[in-house]
């Protein structure tokens, strides 16, 4: 586990840049804020001793998904959106629903007894999480892994068919 101040720094970092994704008018700035937010999230994963998930997070999001987003934004040549008349009633409704959702979740967490406990210490100094996750993946969760493989194949074929230019 990390020291507490490091947790709060990374959490703040992640939340600020997460908010920047929503607030920025320029899609490129949003995409770059998204990757910084995900780097903070990867640091939080590592603070929970989930090194494998943290590395996967950086590789998949900061590497692949991020490049895909930027590539599409550049390809479509999207500029910062010009100001349209904002529907204030709809915006206020959206913020109110989001806030109501957060208050509900916070109440649930507040009433959850285990939430006030600190994390128990790991007995071993070295936890081999890549090996453990890999073993589970190929023994107990082998069928879901195969299904995920089929899903990725279907997604690949689907993307190729969707982005093919129609020839008549």
- Binders of other proteins among residues 94 to 133 (CB under 8 A) are 94-95, 97-99, 101-102, 105-106, 109-110, 112, 114-120, 122-124, 127, 129, 132-133
Find the binding residues for other proteins in span 2-31 (CB under 8 A). 2, 4, 7, 11, 14-15, 18-19, 21-22, 27, 30-31
Sequence-separated (6 or more) residues with CB below 8 Å from residue 58: 38, 39, 42
Number of residues that bind other proteins (CB under 8 A): 81
- Report the C-alpha gap between 92 and 95 in whole angstroms: 5
Find the binding residues for other proteins in span 149-168 (CB under 8 A). 151-152, 155-156, 158-159, 162-163
- Report the C-alpha gap between 37 and 69 in whole angstroms: 15
Half-sphere exposure of 132 (CA within 13 A, CB side): 9
- Report the C-alpha gap between 58 and 70 in whole angstroms: 16
**Binding other proteins by CB under 8 A: which of 83, 140, 167, 168?**
140
Q: Is 142 in the site for other proteins (CB under 8 A)?
A: no
Q: Is 39 in the site for other proteins (CB under 8 A)?
A: no
Q: Is 143 in the site for other proteins (CB under 8 A)?
A: no
CB of 168 to other proteins, least distance (A): 14
Of 109 and 168, nearer to other proteins (C-beta) is 109
Query: Which structure tokens are listed for 127?
Result: 């936890």
What's the Cα-to-Cα distance from 25 to each of 81, 83, 93, 114, 123, rounded to whole Å? 6, 9, 20, 40, 48
């Amino acid at each position: 586990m990390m020291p507490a101040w490091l947790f709060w720094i990374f959490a703040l970092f992640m939340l600020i840049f997460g908010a920047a994704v929503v607030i920025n008018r320029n899609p490129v700035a949003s995409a770059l804020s998204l990757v910084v937010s995900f780097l903070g999230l990867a640091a939080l994963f590592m603070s929970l001793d989930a090194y494998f998930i943290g590395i996967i997070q950086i590789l998949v999001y900061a590497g692949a998904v991020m490049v895909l987003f930027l590539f599409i934004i550049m390809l479509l040549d999207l500029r910062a959106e010009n100001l349209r008349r904002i529907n204030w009633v709809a915006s206020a409704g959206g913020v109110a629903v989001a806030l109501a959702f957060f208050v509900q979740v916070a109440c649930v967490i507040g009433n959850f007894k285990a939430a006030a406990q600190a994390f128990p210490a790991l007995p071993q100094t070295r936890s081999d999480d890549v090996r453990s996750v890999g073993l589970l993946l190929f023994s107990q969760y082998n069928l879901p892994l195969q299904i995920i493989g089929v899903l990725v194949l279907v997604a690949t074929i689907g993307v190729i068919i969707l982005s093919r230019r129609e020839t008549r």
